[in-house]
Every structure is written in structure tokens, then in C-alpha cells.
Amino acid sequence: MRRADDANRKVDLLRQIAELHADAGGDMNAAFDTTARALAVDPGQADTQEELERLARATGRFKDLAKVLEDLGQQQEEPELASGLTMSAARVLENDVGNAERAISSIARCSASTR
């Protein structure tokens, strides 16, 4: 339980730092990077992923967003979480990056690794 509490605390702190970067510092790129670190701590937190997607829209960093999501998807042992992250990455690749081929290959890699 302590480990979960520590992870939650770390995510909260990173999200607060990201908010400071965005609001006080006006540095949306630093906010994106810090939020990506928070998502890496707990990839299952939907609100952190949504915030990262919002920051990608604000900064135009859709390729970076897709990479973060793909990498996290590949690192997961839980098939449902891996699939969800990979599907999010594929959606970003297709809709925001405009690279349907890469989206399809990302899904195929995930399908092969979860078998």
C-alpha cells in the first residue's frame, strides 16, 4: 500500500510542477515534459493522460505524445493497460500526426506482444 501511496504522491507533485510551468512560467513545453513523467509513474491515470493530450494540443507536440503513449504501452505487463495506451497512441498518430501507416504498425506490435 505504501508503494501506491508513494506513486500517487509523486504523480501529484509532478502535476503541480507541470501546472507551475504552464501557469506561472508560461512554459507549456516544460509542462508537457513534466506531465509525461507523471504519466510514466502511473500510466493508468486517465486524468494525467488527458492533461498530457491537452498540453500536446497547446504545444503541437503530437509526435511526442504518440511516442510517450507507445513507449508506455510497450512497457506494460497488464494487457488491458498496454492495449489502451497503444490505441491512444494510434489515434493520435492517425488523427493528429496524419500517419495511418504508423498507427497500424503500432497496433500490430501491441497485438503481437499481448498474445
* Residue 99 CB-half CA count within 13 A: 14
**Average pLDDT taken over every residue of the chain:** 91
Split at pLDDT 50, 70, 90, the class of 115 is low
Largest CA distance in the chain: 46
For residue 4, is pLDDT > 60?
A: no
Contact 62, 96 (CB under 8 A): yes
- The model's confidence at residue 108, banded by pLDDT at 50, 70 and 90, is confident
Which tens digits make up the pLDDT trace of 45-88?
999 999 999 999 999 999 999 999 999 999 999 999 999 999 99
Confidence (pLDDT) at 54: 97
Q: What pLDDT, on the 0 to 100 scale, is given for residue 99?
A: 87
